[in-house]
Structure formats: structure tokens, C-alpha cells
Amino acid sequence: MSVESVNQFYQEIMQEPALLQQFQSAPDRESLANLAVEVGQQKGYSFTVDEVEQALAAQSAASETGELSDQQLEAVAGGKRPKGSAEVYSGEVKEIKC
């Protein structure tokens, strides 16, 4: 299909902690791409290793330019704060999470 399918698959993986952990434990980029194709096929996606590589390259390029990933944008839109941030209300620090 396309890099777009890879991105849709990525969004699905981000919602499944067990799958996410499986991908995070891939020893290298080639293993990650092969795993993505294999698991993607099991979930009904159709993309190639080359398309996975293209999607990874695009994501890396976006990270280097300072653009937020879809996951980071969703976290911001959802109101999540990074660990260690302070909650500020009317200029006062109400809570500090560590």
C-alpha cells in the first residue's frame, strides 16, 4: 500500500502496550522493519520493508527539524504533561510531580 498505511499501523501499535514493547525491543532498524511488515500483515495491513524504512526516515527527519510526532501532538492535545512538570494556576505552583 503506502507509507500512509505504515503510519496508520504505527498509531495502532501506540495503543497496544504489548506490541509497543515488542517493537521497542527490536535490536536494530532492519529487524524493526521486518517485524513491522510481519505484524502488519497479521493485522490486515499491506506494506513493504521499503515503505517502513521510508516512514522511519520521515519520522527521524521530523524529529531532527523539531517537529512534533503525531504521538507528541496527541499528548499535547490530550493535556498530558511530561513527568517532572509543575502545574501552574494564577502564577502559583500548585503541584510538582517528580
pLDDT level of residue 44 (50, 70, 90 thresholds): very high
Q: Report the predicted TM-score, pTM, of the whole model to 2 decimal places.
A: 0.61
How large is the average pLDDT for residues 4-32?
A: 89
* Residue ranges covered by each domain of the chain: 3-96
How much is the average pLDDT of 3-18? Answer: 88
Question: Across residues 82-90, what is the average pLDDT?
Answer: 49
Q: Between these two residues, 56 and 96, which has the higher pLDDT value? A: 56
Q: What average pLDDT does range 56-71 have in this prediction?
A: 71
Q: Rounded mean pLDDT of 23-33? A: 90
* E runs forming strands in 1-98: 86-89, 92-96
Q: How many CA atoms lie within 13 A of 79 on its CB side?
A: 1
